[in-house]
Structure formats: C-alpha cells, structure tokens
Structure 1
C-alpha cells in the first residue's frame, strides 16, 4: 500500500471512529466511550483504535469537537445571515429548537448530557466543555447587546440574564424530549422564547434558512 493510500485510509478510519463516538456518547455519555465497545462496534482491534487516539480522554475530546462542528452547522450557520441583534437571536432560537426537535444526535444534545457528567470534575474534558459553552454564551449575549443598542430590547436589559433564561428553556426542552417524549415540548419552548423576546422588527424577522441535513 502506498503512503498516500495508507494516510487516506487512516483518515477514513479516524472519521468512522469519531462519528460512532459522537452517536454513542449522546446515548450513553462520554464515559460510555470505551475502547472495547468502539472497537467491537466498528470491527477494529483495540490496539488499532488506540493507535488513532492513544487514550480514552483524547477520544472524548475528539467527540466533543466533532459535536461542536455539527452544532455549528445545524444551529448557528442557518441563522448567521439574519440581521445582528434581535432578529438573529430569534433565528438562533428557532434553529436551536429545531435541532433538538429533529434529534440531530440520537440521544439528545451531547453537550447537555456532558455537562451533567462533568460539571463536578476537573480535567481537559471539563475545560473544553467550559470553553465551548462560554463561546456560545458570548455569541448569544453579543446579539442581546446589539439588540439593546438598536432599541429592540429595553435599555436596562441584562444580557447575561437573557442568555441564562434561554439556556433554561432549551435545556428543559432537551429534557422533555429525551426523558418524557413530550411531543408538545417544542411548542412550549417556542412560546417561552416569544415571552422572553419581542418580535423582531421589519423584514429581518423572516425565518432562518433550513439547516443542512445530518
């Protein structure tokens, strides 16, 4: 086998491992990513799988990084073209609700589940989760601040409070969908967002473009 073909095959194998890891972690948690389980699922040897990642922790980090790419594709990119401020904030909420409602990850939002696993721990996996959540909060709060500057939200609006409440709505939605199978939960989440955020002004209130298929 030529070096080029060998490298391409290694990349494909790594992709298979990461894809399966994301799906499995959403169902069974990041701790469910055991080398033996993944090797059996993918028809690989344990040593072959370890050759790609070295440690379970490296595999968990790779799964979270891939999940972030999927979340960006499904939630942020379809809404990113909306007018900055209230219109984009509402567009993001719409795609965020849709992402959960459509079950992009088979076991629900991987990030919600991972925070429950790692919120009381220390180490690189928790550190990565904190950075990922921090970056998302920053993105949301930036649009809240823009909405305040534009007069779309009251001048005394606390951006961190708005983001806190949006997180509460979306995490509750994930819980209702995954634990209770509540088919009305997405509608409740949309009504909760409507109570928190006024309608976006003018033509920028148009719906975001549909996300790419999974």
Structure 2
C-alpha cells in the first residue's frame, strides 16, 4: 500500500525555502552594511514580508545576525576550502586555498567580506556574535594549520615550520589583499599577494 504524503512535508519544505531566501537577502545586506546594520524590519522590507513573518523564522535580531554569520561561514568553506581539497595534499593544496581565498576577495556582487566587517564591529564587544565570529575564525585557522602540516609531512616545507605561525602569516597576506583590493584595485592587489605568498613558501622551504 502506497503511503500517503504527509501534509507537513510541503509546508516544511516551503518554510525552509523561505528561511533560505531571508538569509540570502540578510547576507547581502550585511556584506554592504555590516551585521550592526541588519534589522528585522529592513530584511522584511527587502524580502517583501511582514516583520512578524521574519520573526517566525528568526526569534530575534541577534538570532538573524548569528544565522547570517553562519551562512557566511558556509559560503566561505564552499568557495575557498572545498574546491582546494581536490588538490594534492601539500603545497598544491595550500596554493589552491590561497588562490581561492584571493578570489573570495573580489565580492563584485555582494559588496564586501562580512568577516572583515564583523571583525571591526565586534573586536571589542563581548557577546554571542563575537563568540561565534571567534569560533569561525579559529576553525579556519585550524584548517590552514592542518594544510600546512600536510605540506610539512610531504617534505615540501621545513620540518621546523610552526603550522600556526605559517597560517598567521598566510592570513596576513590575505588581509593585505582585502585591504588593497578595494582601494587600489583587485588585480594589482592579488598579484602582489601571490608574490608575497610564494616568498612565504620559499622562506619555509626545507634546508638543502
């Protein structure tokens, strides 16, 4: 006997789709205005819903902000880390991560990097949003350090290399690209960043 479809299925799917649409718009707004510029009313207006409709999916402004930050983390992992995992462990994967990271800087459609904006907004503001941002940042540093360790294990970086230090320096180059891309132009910023990254790799090359 064929089971009759549950009435909750389509409704649940519609609710999930609505939530995704709200988050997508919220993310775009936050990239331009920062998380502090994000309000239930603004998002409701942008997606053509009532405030109560948005509240049905996000119980508070902070909940919306946290969910938006989580979405940013998912998008970053999708565009930067996941494609790089197809490259061989070691320097090829590190280079792929860096290239994808440099591509993430472009932000021609969404207006900016939410993580940089959030870091400026919440660096000295204790609370759940800062805690979530720190957790996302720590997870990313851990991924970078793991990729560095794999390059060490492959003999492509010196055995004395500190993975956390290498990740810190790699992060610093990425931040410089972010800074210059909007002020002096993306192409030049990425070119300088790539040269700096290759110099970083040479600085940690195994002793011959």
What TM-score bracket applies, with the shorter chain setting the length?
0.7 to 0.9
Structure 1 partner of 2:63: 58
Aligned to 1:112: 116
Which residue is 1:20 aligned to? 25
Higher relative contact order (CA 8 A, sep 6+): 1
Q: 1:61-72 maps to which residues of 2 (within 5 A)?
A: 61-72=66-77
1:137 aligned onto 2:135: no
CA shift at 1:64, angstroms?
Answer: 1.2
**Contact 1:97-1:186 within 8 A present in 2 as well:** yes
Q: How many Å separate the matches in 2 of 1:169 and 1:63?
A: 26
Partner residue in 1 for 2:53: 48
Alignment: residue pair count: 198
Over aligned residues, Cα RMSD in angstroms? 2.0
Helix, strand or coil: the match of 2:105? helix
Residue 61 of structure 1 contacts residue 125 of structure 1 at CA under 8 Å; is this kept in 2? Answer: yes
SS of 1:76's equivalent?
helix
Once the two structures are TM-superposed, the CA of residue 158 in structure 1 deviates from its matched residue by 2.0
1:8 aligns with 2:13: yes
Query: 1:120 Cα shift?
Result: 0.9
* 1:195 alignment counterpart: 199
Q: Distance in 1 between matches of 2:149 and 2:94?
A: 11
Among 155, 158, 165, the residue aligned to 2:159: 155
CA deviation string 1:79-121 (max 9, x = no partner): 10222222211111111111213x2662222112111111111
Match of 2:43 among 17, 33, 38: 38
Structure 1 gaps of 5+ residues are 199-214
1:61-87 CA distance string (max 9 Å, x none): 111111111111111111102222222
Q: Structure 1-normalised TM-score?
A: 0.85
Q: Does 1:127 align with 2:131?
A: yes
1:84/1:143 contact within 8 Å kept: yes
For 1:13 and 1:180, locate their aligned partners in 2 and report how far apart those are by CA, in whole Å. Answer: 39
- For 1:176, which of 166, 177, 180 is the aligned residue? 180
Larger radius of gyration: 2
